[in-house]
Amino acid sequence: MTDGISIDAYLARLASGEPTPGGGSAACVAAALGAALVAMVGRLTLASPKLVDRHARVKPLVDRADALRHACLAGARADEEAYAVVVAAQRLPRATDQERAARSARLQSALAEAAEVPLRNAATALELLRLTGEMAEAGTPHAQSDVRCAALFARAAMAAAIENVLVNHEYLKDETLVAAQRARIAALRRESAALG
């Protein structure tokens, strides 16, 4: 899935004892499922001659849903890669003061990126949540449960991505960076709440 493998193979990797993929990647896959549902509802709408008056509005929504699906899968890969860098930094030698200092610097840099990636993924999930609202209005009335499922996936993906930001904050020493990221999280949560 995140690298062209089947869903079964991805889930097997997720269930393994390896550190990646993990929750951040899985959050993105959940969002990708939601985006696929939105696209499906849009295509069902476009296939209906009875809903031709909705086609012009729905077509760009389908295009956005497809783009978001790809963005979510790219976000899953980015999350896996970012956490792999953290794991590699944790494994650096620390026998001397110089090694400990180098390891600490590398780890802090890796943790900063490992927090930034899921924060971007949370923003993508919020974009998907906005799109579900638009498709709920424009899409076929016969697939509204699918749109609602997509919205639930988007909300879950955003919440899970934020959890992956916050866990990195526990180890980050850059208080300015942490404060800035927490402000962005608060803004995402406010908009999500405003969307109902």
Per-residue confidence (pLDDT) for residue 128, from 0 to 100: 98
Burial class of residue 120, CB neighbours in 10 A (0-12, 13-18, 19+) = middle
- For the chain, domains (ranges, CATH) are 7-194 (1.20.120.680)
Per residue in 184-193, pLDDT (tens digit) is 999 999 999 9
> What confidence category does residue 196 fall into, taking pLDDT thresholds of 50, 70 and 90?
confident
Mean pLDDT for the stretch of residues 74-90 = 97
Mean pLDDT for the stretch of residues 13-19 = 95
User: In a 3-state reduction of DSSP, which class is residue 173?
Assistant: coil
Per residue in 136-193, pLDDT (tens digit) is 999 999 999 999 999 999 999 999 999 999 999 999 999 999 999 999 999 999 999 9
| Alpha helices by DSSP H, the chain | 7-15, 23-46, 55-90, 97-138, 144-169, 175-194
Contacts of 89 (CB under 8 A, 6+ apart): 103, 106, 107, 109, 110
Kindly tell me if the per-residue pLDDT of 2 is higher than 90.
no
Per-residue confidence (pLDDT) for residue 1, from 0 to 100: 59
Contacts of 64 (CB under 8 A, 6+ apart): 131
> What confidence category does residue 5 fall into, taking pLDDT thresholds of 50, 70 and 90?
confident
